[in-house]
Amino acid sequence: MSLSGRLIDAFLALEETRRFSLAAQRCHMSSPAFSQMVARLEDQVGVRLFDRTTRHVTLTPEGEVFAQGARRIASEMRAAIDDLQDRAQRRTGRVSVAGPPSLAADWLPQQLAVFHRRYPGIELRLRDVVSDVCLDTVRRGEADFGLNALPGNSLEFEAVKLLDEPLYLICRADDPLASRRKVRLSHLRQRAFIHTLRSGSVWQHLQPLLRDQDIQDTGFEVDQLGTLAGLVAHGFGISIVPRSALQLCQRDSLAAVPLEGAQASRPIYLVRPRHRSLSTAAAGLWALLLQGVPQLRRAPTSIRPQ
């Protein structure tokens, strides 16, 4: 009632060699054991598959029919196992990561490139998402894991902190604040402020703090960091971005000044579903990202006054 891979292999070996002794040898078994094996197979399928005397071994008509099925079964088995092992060896597979636009601009692609050089067979996908939808993306399985400023519900997600990423004030190069080595939130009092997306992590992080500082909201709420830089450059206000976003704000007329104080940085977590394990490929990328943190700490910060 139940075929096994070994029975199929035995059948195919005998079908090819037409000799019990040879086929047994090929299957690394004694001849009697092999004989019993064929008998078991015939018993299980319910029909005689070989005509055999001590001199000749031939397929029965039913055996010839079964041979086709046996080859398909063996092929499917091999394919299934090979596929799995290719994935285990990271020779094939697919990983999808969700991360914030700032990291998706440079560091994540850089890390993905390293990963791709090491495991060229693995298909990669990067979804740039705002903080709000990151966890949803992971929850729905559209990404294997995500990078996010919030670790998510600890019952649902498992998170490890990658690093605390310093925040920077972005202002015009001729702004008085641009000459400071550091700024505090209190320095921003009364200033016009351009928000990044309300659903983004920086906004979520700073919003309660800025409310205390009597910040003047310009009403602008941009999606692309390039747009933000343009607005700041043309005098509509100032803004705050994480260090990894500085590169996207690179303009001659702009300056960046590190924030200091209690909330001068925002965390970045690696977040994955707690109750679903990562694929081997995803686990590999996860580990690589953890190792890649130093490159992130050394992120380019060339926007500087003077």
Partner DNA sequence: GTCAATTACGTTCTCCGTAAGGATG
Partner DNA sequence: CATCCTTACGGAGAACGTAATTGAC
- Contact of residue 280 among DNA, a copy of itself, none (CB under 5-8 Å per partner type): a copy of itself
**Of 239 and 279, which CB lies nearer to a copy of itself in the complex structure?**
279
Q: Which stretch binds DNA (CB under 7 A): 18-26, 191-199, 235-243, 258-266?
A: 18-26
Tokens 């001068």 found at: 264
Give the residue, chosen from 5, 16, 47, 56, that forms a contact with DNA under the rule CB under 7 A: 56
| Residue placing its CB nearer to DNA in the complex, 77 or 177 | 77
**Backbone torsions φ then ψ of 136, nearest 5 degrees:** -60, -45
Q: Report what 39 binds from DNA, a copy of itself, none; CB cut-off 5-8 Å by kind.
A: DNA
19 binds a copy of itself (CB under 8 A): no
Number of residues forming the site for a copy of itself (CB under 8 A) = 42
Cβ neighbors of 25 (< 8 A, separation 6 or more) are none
3-state secondary structure of 220: strand
Residue 30 touches DNA, criterion: CB under 7 A: yes
**Number of residues located near DNA, criterion CB under 7 A:** 25
Q: Is 140 in the site for a copy of itself (CB under 8 A)?
A: no
Q: Rounded distance, CA 48 to CA 60, Å?
A: 7
Collect all residues with Cβ–Cβ distance below 8 Å to 276 and sequence separation of at least 6.
Answer: 141
Q: Is 298 in the site for DNA (CB under 7 A)?
A: no
Minimal distance in Å, beta carbon 245 to a copy of itself? Answer: 32
* Choice between 64 and 136, CB closer to a copy of itself: 64
**Cα–Cα distance between 90 and 88 in angstroms, integer?**
5
Site for DNA in 249-278 (CB under 7 A): 275
Say how many Å lie between the first and final Cα of the chain, rounded. Answer: 82
Taking the complex as a whole, the smallest distance from the CB of residue 55 to DNA amounts, in Å, to 4
Given a copy of itself, DNA, none, residue 38, with its beta carbon under 5 to 8 Å by kind, binds DNA
CB of 280 to a copy of itself, least distance (A): 7
Instruction: Name the burial class of residue 196, with classes exposed (0-12), middle (13-18) and buried (19+) by CB atoms within 10 angstroms of its CB.
Output: buried
Query: What does the H/E/C string look like for 131-166?
Result: HHHHHHHHHCCCCCEEEECCCCCCCCEEEEEEEEEE
Rounded to the nearest angstrom, the gap between the alpha carbon of residue 11 and the centroid of all alpha carbons in its chain is 43
Q: Which is nearer to a copy of itself, 8 or 162 (CB)?
A: 8
Is residue 26 near DNA by the rule CB under 7 A? no
Closest CA to 170 of 121, 94, 222, 100: 222
Torsional sign, CA 71, 76, 77, 82: positive
Residues found near DNA in the complex (CB under 7 A)? 4, 6, 19-21, 28-40, 52-57, 275
Task: Tell me which residues touch a copy of itself (CB under 8 A).
Answer: 1-6, 9, 45-48, 51, 53, 56, 58, 60-62, 65-66, 69-70, 72-73, 76-77, 79-81, 83-85, 87-88, 144, 275-280, 282
